[in-house]
Amino acid sequence: MTQVPEPIEGGHTPSAADPIRVLVVDDHALFRRGLEMVLEQEEDIEVVGEASDGAEAVAKAADAVPDVVLMDVRMPRRSGIEACTAIKETVPSAQIIMLTISDEEADLYEAIKAGAIGYLLKEISIEEVATAIRAVHGGESYISPSMASKLLTEYASMVRGGGKRQVPAPKLTDREMEVLKLVAKGLNNRDIAKQLFISENTVKNHIRNILDKLQLHSRMEAVVYAVREKLLEIT
């Protein structure tokens, strides 16, 4: 059944034809301007505002009601992670991508806990930024492969050094485990569908079931949970 988008507080009613509304947040004006200039070349993306720190980002997000927020982690006045938490409270529909030079696992973990579903290093190509915007707008997580590898390795180490679980983890089907393992490798829905010879809709259904069973909210949280609970073996 096709779902009709509901009006968002502030007057903006999304539709399939609307461009993706993006707020750019970074304390370096030159980087912000360069990113905006490139994104403005994308027909399906519209930059609706910019901010130079976390405090300004929260105010601009409440005013512009963006679909996606591109935000640095470390900024003056209020960090990107603090701003992420506040924006998710004020504009729950906004999807947040951290775009940063920080490759610290702690920053990535805190960003995920704060509600970000994307984490990209600034070394990536600008084309990948646009791809990430479209992915998170469609409900997918998007993380730089090197950071995903670091995070999963860290959790695998924690699992090896930890004790046994007190409560059994929810049972996932064999197919759900296959999907989860491919998500952990950084594959998107289309690539997972091709590898398993199933449709993208079927992949989405499997991911929805996985999140429901694990009582989690994002793909990345599911991967972290699965490693911690020894549902996945990450070497």
159 pLDDT tier (thresholds 50, 70, 90): low
Q: What is the pLDDT of residues 180-209, one digit of tens each?
A: 888 877 778 888 999 999 999 999 899 989
CATH architecture of 20-148: 3-Layer(aba) Sandwich (3.40)
What is the amino acid identity at position 56?
Answer: E
Top-confidence range, 50-59, 143-152, 216-225: 50-59
- For 164-228, which CATH class? mainly alpha
Residue 52 is predicted with a pLDDT of 93
Residues 6 or more apart whose Cβ sits within 8 Å of residue 204: 189
Residues 6 or more apart whose Cβ sits within 8 Å of residue 28: none
Enumerate the domain spans of the chain.
20-148, 164-228
Q: Are the beta carbons of 180 and 172 closer than 8 angstroms? A: yes
Q: What is the pLDDT of residues 74-103, one digit of tens each?
A: 888 888 999 999 999 999 999 999 988 877
Higher-confidence position of 23 and 231? 23
